[in-house]
A = this chain, B = another copy of it.
């Protein structure tokens, strides 16, 4: 997904256009890696010095619900990135230092032995963590 698609989707769904929403999405589109809510707030402070937590968290939540952002959680906080263009279901190798990702189309669920007949499976998480080349230097 790119910025234009994200803004169009918001419009189609009847959400109002605001400068803050555009800037949030712009930041995510420019960086294309996992950012925390605080990361996003910090990058917006220049243009919107009086930005509220509420605005950022509520908009993030909206974007996640619409599929504009992908969400995960590690190091004790939520992380968000613009949904990958990778078609369909995928996983990530994630740099825990800068949030940069590599997409992995391979999903372990396809080869999971069906040991869980007693479980109603609602989801799964497969992530590989490490540090990227740039962060290693």
Enumerate chain A interface residues (CB-CB to B < 8 A).
73-74, 76, 93, 95-96, 102, 104, 106, 108-109, 111-113, 115-116, 118-133, 136
Contact = CB atoms under 8 A, between A and B. Distances in A.
Contacts of A102: 115-116, 118-119
Contact of A104 (B76, B115, B130, B131): B115
Give chain A's interface secondary structure class. Answer: strand
A119 B128 CA distance: 10
Given A104-B113, A115-B102, A131 B120 contact: yes
Contact of A106 (B95, B112, B124): B112
5 contacts: A104-B115, A106-B113, A111-B111, A119-B128, A120-B130
A24 B96 CA distance: 31
B113 A121 contact: no
B125 A112 contact: no
Nearest to A135: B120
Contact of A125 (B111, B121, B123, B125): B125
Given A95-B119, A119-B95, A121-B93, A128 B112 contact: yes
Contact of A111 (B74, B106, B127, B136): B106
